[in-house]
Amino acid sequence: MNAVLAPASSPLLSVRRLRVHFSLRGSWPWSKPSILRAVEEVNFDLAPGETLGIVGESGCGKSTLARSLVGLQPVTSGGILYDGKPLQTLDAEGWRAMRREIQMVFQDPLASLDPRMTVGDIVAEPLRSLCPEIDAAERERRVAQWLERVGLSAAHRNRYPHEFSGGQCQRIGIARALVVRPRLLICDEPVSALDVSVQAQIINLLRDLQKEFGLSMLFIAHDLSVVRLISHRVLVMYLGRIMEQGPRETLFTQPLHPYTKALMAAVPGQHLGERELVARGEIPSPLSPPLGCVFTTRCPIADPHCTRQPPPLKSLSRGRAVACHFVGG
């Protein structure tokens, strides 16, 4: 298991008060548009060589957050700094240059690969687009090198994605993302569509690549056991907001927020001794989140104050933070 990293003096990625909203038209032309607050007031730092796990139920804003960090989703407000440079103000040309620094691995391994292209062309495409100074011979060498590095064979370069299993397709996606040697890799549920045994293989591959190349990673998942395997720190999201964040082992062994405890209680084999802290009902619609604390309608310890005032994300000792009126005074 990875050791928890000491915080770096200068984070590679800093996110401050990030908001991503969607305006949705009503059923009738005269209806007032609804605002879906997919990401709301999100703050975090990512150190060089660190993996930050982001976990939460479906619809909590994890994937929207990931897409906003790579320029695939416009930001409503807030700041994103990569190595001290603002990302939210980049134009198309600026993002093109930034693709050499930040890459992404997607959830569905087969759907993220062009079925009309050979594996060799898929892995070579970022080099053609982002590294025009590299000649054809060097591209071929790098493609072969990366196919071998992710556990495939260079002989596979002339085959097509449909000829591979889901795990092999995800290895191809990882090779495509890392062939330009980025410093930051964003993984959006990269193992959720894979069998458990294949998940472990992909997790081990990512950990080995991180150690070898000093990668920083954001690893998004809804499976807490997977997040625990790969992350140094963990951030828990609910309805677009951060509920809790902290070092991996501390957060898993001593969760503070009722929502984090509810997630832990839902994991088979977890015994927190607080079985009453189980989330009630269903997650509300992000189009009409609860007033005050967004978790209040499902929280077993909520009181009237929780419905009046959203709790701020309070910094605690040892790198922990929690957004709950009952924690941290």
Q: Which domain range does residue 63 map to?
A: 13-101+182-322
Q: Which residues of 298-328 are buried (b: 16+ CB within 10 A; e: fewer)?
A: bbeebeeebeeebbebeeeeeebbbbbbbbb
In a domain, 155, yes or no: no
User: Domain containing 215 — which CATH number?
Assistant: 3.40.50.300
Q: Return the HEC string of the chain.
A: CCCCCCCCCCCCEEEEEEEEEEEECCCCCCCCCEEEEEEEEEEEEECCCCEEEEECCCCCCHHHHHHHHCCCCCCCEEEEEECCEECCCCCHHHHHHHCCCEEEECCCCCCCCCCCCCHHHHHHHHHHHHCCCCCHHHHHHHHHHHHHHCCCCHHHHHCCHHHCCHHHHHHHHHHHHHCCCCCEEEEECCCCCCCHHHHHHHHHHHHHHHHHHCCEEEEEECCHHHHHHHCCEEEEEECCEEEEEEEHHHHHHCCCCHHHHHHHHCCCCCCCCCCCCCCCCCCCCCCCCCCCCCCCCCCCCCCHHHHHCCCCCEECCCCCEECCCCCCC
pLDDT of residue 4: 42
Q: Beta-carbon neighbour count of residue 120 at 10 Å?
A: 18
What pLDDT shows up at residue 270?
58
In a domain, 171, yes or no: no
Which pLDDT score is estimated for 264? 87
Query: What pLDDT is stored for residue 18 in this prediction?
Result: 96
Residue 56 lies in a domain: yes
Is residue 176, in this structure, part of any structural domain at all?
A: no
Q: What local confidence, expressed as pLDDT, does residue 7 receive?
A: 46
Which tokens hold the place of 28? 């009738």
pLDDT along the chain (329 residues), means of 10: 50 96 79 88 95 92 94 94 92 91 91 93 95 93 96 94 93 96 95 88 94 95 90 96 95 93 78 58 86 92 90 91 87
Structure confidence at residue 159 (pLDDT): 96
Q: How many domains does the chain have?
A: 1
Q: State residue 287's pLDDT score.
A: 87
Q: Is residue 116 part of a domain?
A: no
Residue 27, in any domain of the structure: yes
Question: Would you state the pLDDT for residue 146?
Answer: 96
**Confidence (pLDDT) at 269:** 61
pLDDT of 33 reads 82
Please indicate, yes or no, if residue 97 is contained in any of the structural domains: yes
pLDDT of residue 265: 83
Q: Is the residue at 57 inside a domain?
A: yes
